[in-house]
Structure 1
Amino acid sequence: MNLDVWKKIKKKQFSPIYLMYGTEAFLLQETKDLLIKNAMHEDEKDFNLSVYDLEETPVEIAISDAETLPFMGERRIVILHNPSFLTAEKAKDKVEHRIEKLEQYVKEPAPFTILVFIAPYEKLDERKKIVKQLKANAEVLTVNTLSEKDLHLWIADRANQYHVAISSTAIQELLQVAGTNLMIITQELDKMCLYVGAEGSITEDTVKLLVPRSLEQNIFSLIDKVVNRKLAEALRIFYDLLQNNEEPLKILSLLATQFRLIYQVKELSKMGYGQQQIAGNLKVHPFRVKLAAGQASLFTEHELLKILNQLAEADYEMKSGKKDKQLILELFIMNLAK
């Protein structure tokens, strides 16, 4: 993601057309909200903000709106959701779009309108004339999964909006305990910013004090404790999870998911793939691959396959009711520590 687009919006340097696409829905929404907040006063929205779903409305109707002068305001904002005609996908809707009207508009956009395409798709069809036109004439923002570097920048930028500083070690700790889901990160970050107040600083200790570990991160820590032969600490995490009413079957499932990822990362690394390539192939966040790579170095390939077989056996025992579920997991953790 190019954060320069956000910087320009905050400086009120607007483009007549924006093309925002990608699979990170939270960032698409954040960028749209940022644009509306900076480009229009609250009392102008009723008159000059229009939102269209292009799965239900022909694009030429939205273009006609974009060509209409603003009422009691400096500019109009016209937002177009789901422009599936920019992709290679077959349209789910039966709406006929007059794309030539859009092509004409892109050549000469109205100087008083900001036209925004919000396309929740991983890719656009680069062969299409309208896609080429938009990429040449619009401000383009791609918001697929953020890299670890971009995640760090995005977190620091959000804290800065509260006039709060956050250390790099605090960001790292936040990602460790909360995971990479942007909605969860935002909730936890906003909470910490309110706690330290304007001109305050978020440190690693602040994160440890205020941010609860996600279930996935607890599973990661549990494995980490086990492989480092800290059995008592691993069991403490496990019993805390049970006390928080986490289902043993769900815990087992997440253990299997993490060990499967560790095995896949080890195999792909052996084949010469880098962390970004592995993340793309496995469709997981690069930060998760980085953490799994660290754990993969602690196991041989044979050990990982053996563990995956044990997890499959534990899953069968749980679902068939052969043993107590808690006992099955306790035995697995103890065997793993050996």
Structure 2
Amino acid sequence: MTFEQIINDIKNKIFFPVYFLYGEEPFYIDQLTAYIEQNALDESVREFNQSIVYGRDVTPKDVIDLARRFPMMGNYQLVVVKEAQDLKTIEGLEPYLDSYLDTTILVVNYKYKKLDKRKSFYKKLSKTKNVVLFESVRLYDNKIPEWIEKTVHLLGYKIDPVASELLSEYLGNDLSTIYNELEKLIINIKAGQTVTVDDIERYIGISKDFNVFEFQNALGTKNVLKAQRIAQHFEANPKEHPLQMITIMLHNYFMKVFLYHQLKNRNSKEIAAELGLHPYFLNDYKRASANYPVQKIKTIMSQIRTLDLKSKGVGSTDGKNYGDLKELVFKILH
């Protein structure tokens, strides 16, 4: 089952005896767990029929004993095992799958880990009738802007591509952090409105002018003055713009420019898909590829790797020296 299918079933009051939610991305696991908690039972019977325990505090036998109780004054009881990855032996829950109760909704919240699909426990979970087995897969970085756009749409708003890219660059791939920032953002915006970079600067605090996204654009268009001003801003605000983060993003940017050279004879849709970009940004990469031939990009990539090593203290006594970044900017642009 997909995340959306599980949510729709719950909205329609369709519940299953066992939900095993697992995977490396905790966001969807916590979202589903919370949604089941909020909707499985009427508030009047939660005191009697809802048990929430944590993996570090219980054994599999404790969980099974809770799950085999019958509900009081209601059709279901809800048993939620949070942080189930802390159970010493998750496989100890396997006997319950052989004789689960239809009157129990057991939710197992198993985060940050994959299950071994070779083991009997996974096979039993995947084959047992009325067991919802959901894997929450961590998104690749290039999928984050698309996820932001989709999430903003579900919240009843729109967001322009530059704004979603800016959020992605600065908030990384932690979906929970991004979602929390989006919730804070939309409190200040009228329903149905389009979120812009101005909104992000005003309500989240990410500068629309002095950020890595604008830094990349300045380098791509060979705007020397703008690139130097942004590098100086980074130096003045090292906590918001750590050198290691900047080098990673520059590496990713020039790698995409390099790949654009290899793909430029394909159609725009195929290029955007290969680069993991919104089509809106293709012209930026086309322009950058015209400014930077392949051999120059190879040299730049080598220089970025050198800066990355220096930022980690390799071959440098000061891993936070932004003078090396400004020197890199000069080399890239000349």
Mapped to 1, the partners of 2:243 and 2:36 lie a distance apart of: 44
Give a deviation string over 1:99-132, Cα, whole Å, max 9, x none.
5522322xxx322211112222443222333322
Match of 2:300 in 1: 304
Q: Could you tell me the percent identity over the aligned residues?
A: 19
The equivalent residue for 2:214 is 221
SS at match of 2:3: coil
**Separation in structure 2 between the aligned mates of residue 320 and residue 65 of structure 1, nearest angstrom:** 58
Q: Name 1:153's counterpart in structure 2.
A: 150
What is the match of residue 178 of structure 2?
185
Corresponding residue number in structure 2 for 1:31: 32
Output the amino acid matched with 2:232.
Y
The offset of 1:266, in angstroms, is 7.5
Once residues 304 and 42 of structure 1 are traced to their aligned partners in structure 2, the CA distance between those partners, rounded to angstroms, is: 61
Residue 330 of structure 1 is matched in structure 2 by 326
The answer on 1:320 being equivalent to 2:317 is yes
Aligned length: 310
Using the alignment, how far apart are the partners of 2:134 and 2:301 within structure 1?
Answer: 42
- TM-superposed CA distance for 1:82, in Å, is 5.3
Q: TM-score, normalised by structure 2?
A: 0.72
Residue 236 of structure 1 corresponds to 229
Q: Tell me, what secondary structure is at the counterpart of 2:117?
A: coil
Residues 110 and 226 (structure 1), Cα distance of their counterparts in 2 relative to 1, 3 Å cut: same
**1:36 positional shift:** 0.6
The alpha carbon displacement at 1:255 in A equals 3.0
For the 8 Å contact 2:159–2:194, the answer to whether it is kept is yes
In the TM superposition, what is the alpha-carbon distance from 1:70 to its structure 2 partner? 2.0
1:283 equivalent in structure 2: none
CA distance in 2 between counterparts of 1:124 and 1:313 reads 35
The question of 1:115 aligning with 2:120 is answered no
Counterpart Cα distance in 2 of 1:188 and 1:96: 34
Q: 1:167 to 1:208 in 2, by over 3 A?
A: same
Q: Is the 8 A contact 2:58 2:87 kept in 1?
A: no
Counterpart position of 2:158: 166
1:275-286 matches, cutoff 5 A: none
1:102 equivalenced with 2:93 (yes/no): no
Cα distance in 2 between the residues matched to 1:243 and 1:140: 49
Q: Which amino acid aligns with 1:31?
A: L
Q: Secondary structure at the match of 1:20?
A: strand
> What is the match of residue 88 of structure 1?
none
Shift of 1:185: 1.9
State the partner residue of 1:51: 52
Structure 1 counterpart SS, 2:222: coil
Q: d(CA) in 2 for partners of 1:220 and 1:168?
A: 14
Q: Distance in 2 between matches of 1:185 and 1:121?
A: 18
Counterpart AA for 1:111: D
SS in 1 for 2:121: helix
Counterpart-to-counterpart distance in 1, 2:254 and 2:219: 17
Cα RMSD after superposing both structures: 4.3
